[in-house]
Chain A
Amino acid sequence: MTSASSLGGVAQAGAGPDNGPAHEFFVPAPHEPAGSAPAPAFGPVILEAEGLVRRFFGVTVLDGVSLSLAAGEVRALLGENGAGKSTMINLLSGVHQPDGGQLRLDGSPVRFARPLDADHAGISVIRQELSLFPDLSVAEAIFAGHLPLNRFGLVDWPRMRRAASAALSQLAPDIDINAPVASLSIARQQMVEIARALTRKARVVIMDEPTASLSPNEVAHLGRIIADLSREGVAVLYVSHRLDEIRAFCQTYTVLRDGKAVAGGRVADTDIPALIRAMAGREIAAAQKAPPAPVADQGTGEPLLQIRHLASPQGLRGGQRVKDVSFALRQGEILGLAGIVGAGRTETARMIFGLDPVGQGEIRLFGQPVRFASPAAAIAAGIGYVPEDRKGLSLLPGRSVHENFALTGAVPARFGRNDRRAEARLLAGFWQKLGIRAASPGAAITTLSGGNQQKVILARWIALKPKLLIIDEPTRGIDVGAKEDVHALIREIAASGVAVLLISSDLPEVMSLSHRIITLREGVTSSDQPAAGITAEALMTHMTRHA
């Protein structure tokens, strides 16, 4: 494996006719034909990244990634959550600038100081969260930023409408160019974005998880559009978790893991299990080191929480994230909930907690069917929820650690007054136990590190003594030391009899903490099994592939 590790930072591992098992991820890149492998006829390389490095706050997110896109090439960019895909897209499109390495356009070094520079260079990004202007008409959205003008310097509406119709004619001729963008389905909004790219004469189109909310028919249509783009000499970078689509749409691929390109080559030369292994490599290594999952010693009697065929309401534009989720959770049990972004994990938690309305299905708490109209009702029933979005949904910026801790009202007021002394005592207990590092309980919460903020948030909920605690991405963006503290805390509260629903994209975390693990795929429970003996590969397979 020495050669593999020395090649670890590079996707195109140079030429070398080597298909030996140790190098199965490192087949030659197709536009650098080598050996006997017949290369598809790509045009010249348009955009090339070499050894891109990007750090955020001292953390290396992208560590020497190389990748190239030739005219007519459709390259898949794969990797699990947090592997660096988004950062890669942001570097290629000028949102961020690399801290090291080089971008080359048509062979000459280039620097995109801002997104507009990349746009001028013919690089278009179709983002997962569509960036269109919801209130503009389709025609305006296609031309926003470069509206055609007449000789008086005013918008040339007839010309714009004609051009918009022409651009959409191949993609989706039935879209009304005068309709507001917000009235279109996600799939159609994507078509509008693609039309925008076409009118910009884009030479490189980057698609970020384009099929996350599309129906199978819409996915097939998108596949045809991508093939058309490729035929016309556009280079496409297709970012996705969905391996079936990658096999169908893409000719080449690059796998990122922990900010490095760990595999790459021709899609035809690999298979899905190999791709999963490449993406999950870290999981396998880490899970082997992780302590064995605790034995489910509780797990008796009536389940505390039972979910049957839970589904979110049918969205107006086909946006139903949760389709059919079922599981049971017992007292003292940690149930891991794994899935890729968009699989419906957080949405499931929000429905249980009364934050979002339930479409269909049943939630039973202690055997009783429940549907909570508000978080307050769920809290009263003994449920706690630590959300994923710490800044948006947990923190009270501008308030003290003490007030952030006391938010859930764990200590009852005395004669109508807050019992600050009792609160302070309770907080002091958590402070010591969790090793919270802050100047004082009076310090503003925003002066704490992410890990310490998370500890305060966890303390806020644990102080309520919930019977069920839902924890969404407990250790996202926090340092290693705090992560261990949080893990120990989760184990401890489960040992004390709390049922824990653990949502995490960090597979080693899920595997080392959970007693049972369920996976969601596209809003459906795709597996449910004890954690003991489970492999990361198996989980990834359940998360990404149709059985």
Chain B
Amino acid sequence: MSATTPPDRARLFALLGRLAPLIFLLALVIIFASLQPRFLMPLNLFNILRQVSIYGIIAVGMTFVILIRGIDLSVGALVAMSGLCAAVIARGGIEGRLVLSADGSGFSWQLAALAAILAGSAAGLLQGMAVAWLSVPAFVVTLGGMTVFRGLALSIGNGGPISGFDEAFGWWGRGMIGPVPVPVLIFAAVAAIAWVVLTQTRFGRAVYAVGSNPEAARLSGINVSGVTIAVYGLIGFCSGLGGFVLASRLNSAEAVAGTGYELTAIAAVVIGGTSLQGGTGGVGGTVIGALLTGVLLNGLVILNVSPYTQQVLVGLIIVAAVAFDHFIKRQSR
């Protein structure tokens, strides 16, 4: 008697599809660990996590966007722009051009962080409005946003970096709690909150509904435009937070920061099993996707693979992961 009647087979493949990114991640870890024992040292593992954390925060926001069938190409530019906003506040102005505080000293990290997050969120909300109300495709809106925000970042810093912040500012990027880097904790907190929002709240359900079938969502009383704008605001928030943490970690903010983050974040989401067609996936997958990307890059470095070859491999693995995902989904139907 065969245990794989058609529904069983479909269920097996459905389970495989959900677990695929995790299996893939574990396989990579085992491969790298066996090739180079140094890979598994705690220091290296926290190193990976620290590297992952900033684009991981953004990837969490990107999960929401991709769940509603959207895309956001502006996140890298937003990271740079909001990082510079934080830097300007932290330094109390721009040297030689702008003085914000009476005595010329900087403001607290709280105000700096707020500036970064507000800048990011406002930019995200604006893009969301363009997508929802002007019906411009998200790809186009955020492609435009990408150069607009990069341009604004260049204007703020006048092309150069703004650096040198106080101890409290720097803690958010370089500090440790026990053995754990602070950015990793921020990433974990953002992911956990996002998970609760997506799985436990009305808004989370609306996100899935809009991505799964926007017409059905609208017909059921969901404010599709409102959800869209909120989701782009959310990824703006995540980018602003990421910009702050990055500026803190580097003790410097500059207009070229965050270059390429949009693709890394999208890759993490897609590798994590969230469908570009919207409606299926989640934050758990994205976290694994982000870790997988980080492990891959770190492992290749440790194995002394040339940086050029690394790029080739990462690209191929992204395509392979998505192809595999589609294959599994077809089987489980």
Contacts and interface: CB of A to CB of B under 8 A. Distances in A.
A471 B220 CA distance: 14
B208 A385 contact: no
A449 B218 CA distance: 24
A54 interface: no
Contact of B201 (A393, A417, A439): A417
B136 interface: no
A301 interface: no
Contact of B213 (A353, A396, A418, A460): A396
B221 interface: yes
A376 B221 CA distance: 4
A413 B202 contact: yes
A398 interface: yes
Contacts of B222: 376, 407
A394 interface: yes
A406 interface: yes
Nearest to B279: A398
Interface in B315-333: 333
Q: In the complex, which of the residues A375, A406, A439 has the most CB atoms of chain B within 10 Å of its own CB atom?
A: A375
B166 interface: no
B209 interface: yes
A409 interface: yes
A379 interface: yes
Interface string B89-126: 00000000000000000000000000000000000000
Interface residues of B, number: 22
B219 interface: yes
A374 interface: yes
Interface in A390-427: 392-399, 403, 406-409, 413, 416-418
A264 interface: no
Contacts of B218: 355, 374-375
B217 interface: yes
Interface in A148-197: none
A394 B216 contact: yes
Nearest to A380: B221
B101 to A, nearest CB: 39
A380 B217 CA distance: 15
B219 A393 contact: yes
A416 B216 contact: no
A387 interface: yes
Contact of A375 (B201, B202, B213, B221): B221
Given A355-B219, A398-B279, A409-B221, A403 B208 contact: yes
Interface residues of A, number: 30
A407 B209 contact: yes
B205 A418 contact: yes
Given A394-B216, A407-B217, A413-B201, A376 B208 contact: no
Interface string B188-224: 0000000000001110010011001101111111110
Contacts of B252: none
Contacts of A398: 212, 275, 279-280
Contacts of B216: 392-396, 407
A316 to B, nearest CB: 18
A380 B222 CA distance: 11
Nearest to A408: B220
Contacts of A403: 205, 208-209
Nearest to A461: B220
A470 to B, nearest CB: 11
A283 B222 CA distance: 39
A407 B208 CA distance: 10
Given A396-B279, A409-B202, A375 B212 contact: no
Contacts of B275: 398
A392 B217 CA distance: 11
B116 to A, nearest CB: 27
Contacts of A394: 213, 216, 219
Nearest to B226: A376
A441 to B, nearest CB: 15
Contact of B221 (A379, A439, A446): A379
B202 A418 contact: yes
A46 B213 CA distance: 46
Contacts of A385: 219
Interface in A439-464: 439, 446-447, 460
Contacts of B280: 398-399
B196 to A, nearest CB: 8
Interface string A105-131: 000000000000000000000000000
B323 to A, nearest CB: 19
A503 to B, nearest CB: 15
Contacts of A374: 218, 223
A460 B220 contact: yes
Interface string B285-304: 00000000000000000000
Contacts of A406: 205
Nearest to A397: B212
A395 B202 contact: no
Contact of A376 (B223, B279, B333): B223
A418 B212 contact: no
Interface string B256-291: 000000000000000000010001100000000000
B133 to A, nearest CB: 14
Contacts of B333: 446
A355 B205 CA distance: 22
A393 B221 contact: no
A384 to B, nearest CB: 10
Nearest to B329: A398
A396 B221 contact: no
A504 B223 CA distance: 29
A409 B208 CA distance: 14
Nearest to A445: B212
Q: Which of B7, B205, B209, B219 has the most CB of A within 10 A?
A: B219
Contact of A407 (B7, B200, B201, B205): B205
B205 A416 contact: no
Contacts of A392: 213, 215-216
Contacts of A447: 7
Contacts of A409: 202, 220-221
Interface string A339-382: 00000000000000101000000000000000000111001100
Nearest to B223: A376
Interface in B208-263: 208-209, 212-213, 215-223
B65 to A, nearest CB: 17
A446 B213 CA distance: 13
Contacts of A407: 205, 209, 216-217, 220, 222
B197 to A, nearest CB: 9
A396 B215 contact: no
Interface in A26-70: none
29 contacts: A355-B218, A374-B218, A374-B223, A375-B218, A376-B221, A385-B219, A387-B219, A393-B213, A393-B216, A393-B219, A394-B219, A395-B216, A397-B213, A397-B279, A398-B212, A398-B279, A399-B209, A399-B212, A403-B209, A406-B205, A407-B216, A408-B220, A408-B221, A418-B200, A418-B202, A418-B205, A439-B7, A446-B333, A460-B220
Interface of B: 7, 200-202, 205, 208-209, 212-213, 215-223, 275, 279-280, 333
Given A392-B216, A417-B201, A460-B220, 16 more contacts: A374-B218, A374-B223, A375-B219, A376-B221, A376-B223, A379-B220, A395-B213, A395-B216, A396-B217, A397-B212, A398-B275, A403-B208, A408-B220, A409-B202, A409-B220, A439-B7
Would you list the 5 A-B pairs with minimal beta carbon distance, nearest first? Answer: A396-B212, A379-B221, A376-B221, A398-B280, A407-B220
